[in-house]
Amino acid sequence: MPDAEAVSRRAAGEVAALVRRGGPATVALPTGETPKGMYEELVIMSGQGLDWSGVTVFSLDEYVGVPEASPLNYKGYMERHFFSKVNVPVSGRHIFDSLCASPKAECERYDRLIAEAGGFDLAVVGIGQNGHVAFNEPGERLILPCHVQELSDDTILANRAVTETEARIVGAEVPARDGFPTHAMTVGMAAILGARSILLIATGRSKTEALTSMRDGTMTTRVPASLLQLHENCTIVADAQAAGGMQI
């Protein structure tokens, strides 16, 4: 794709095609800088009559212990960029409860909800500069179900960018480095790989290395996105900067 706008249009087109198919549909959706353009496109389509009334959405991840008013909170992000502007039924808007008493129990609840929904028809995911998918961070092992994940320094640093933009939108201060949450709840690789189709979106030069190592024909938990190579229906949509000369 030539640029980020084209990636957003293509990603929105894939989501909209599923929604237009009619009947119930379950979609996993990401947060971060990359998908903002996709949400903008989807909101425009909603204004033109795209009907979300049969759609269930699972947000992929959420920090532990962050109130909704914080620019870090992903429920707030989803409300601002998407939910407040589309007619996804309130009962079909799922996101981990950041302030839950037991993040472990919350993860178990989320896995149960995903199972009850019959898994994802489509999982739209981003990729971290370190190769993470949702908040499945590189490591010796990956935990397959929804789980509480300790965040790497790389991820905390990279996520400052989106927090700064969100802070401007909500008129809040960006928390200091030591005020950033160290843990998040994330959908695990099991539910992501169990999706009927996966769409990975990536834009910008900072993603080239991660994209290269996720597509090199080897698989390692050190690059969680490399597991997506096993999936029969995984599409990568990247702009020219992220692709860095690769044929995608």
**Interacting residue ranges for ligand PGA, rule: CB under 6 A:** 32-34, 126-128, 162
DSSP letters, 177-222, are: GGGS-SEEEE--HHHHHTSSEEEEEE-SGGGHHHHHHHSSS---TT
The nearer residue to ligand PGA, 115 or 246, going by C-beta atoms, is: 246
Closest CB 177 distance from ligand PGA, rounded Å: 17
How far is residue 215 CA from its own chain's centroid?
Answer: 19
- Say if CB 90 and CB 55 are below 8 A apart: no
Cα(14)–Cα(180) distance, rounded to whole angstroms?
Answer: 34
CB of 195 to ligand PGA, least distance (A): 16
CB of 33 to ligand PGA, least distance (A): 4
Compute the least distance from the CB of residue 161 to ligand PGA, in Å: 6
For ligand PGA, the closer CB: 46 or 186: 186
Determine which one of 61, 106, 166, 239 is catalytic. 61
Of 15 and 162, which has the nearer Cβ to ligand PGA?
Answer: 162
Outline where 52-204 has alpha helix (H).
74-81, 103-116, 153-158, 160-170, 189-193
Residue among 26 and 186 whose Cβ is closer to ligand PGA: 186
Task: Decide if 173 is catalytic.
Answer: no
Query: Which residues touch 219 (CB under 8 Å, ≥6 apart)?
Result: 226, 227, 229, 230
With beta carbons less than 8 A apart as the criterion, state whether 77 and 96 touch: no
Q: Which residues contact 2 (CB under 8 A, 6 or more apart)?
A: 239, 240
130 is catalytic: yes
Q: Which residue in the list 73, 94, 106, 130 is annotated as catalytic?
A: 130
Q: Which two tokens stand for residue 2?
A: 């030539």
Residue nearer to ligand PGA on the CB measure, 54 or 244: 244
Q: List residues bridging with 235 in a β-sheet.
A: 199
Whether 137 is catalytic: yes
Which candidate in 137, 147, 166, 239 is catalytic?
137
Phi, psi of 10 (to 5 degrees): -65, -45
Q: How far is the CB of 55 from ligand PGA (least distance, A)?
A: 22
Catalytic residues: 61, 130, 132, 137
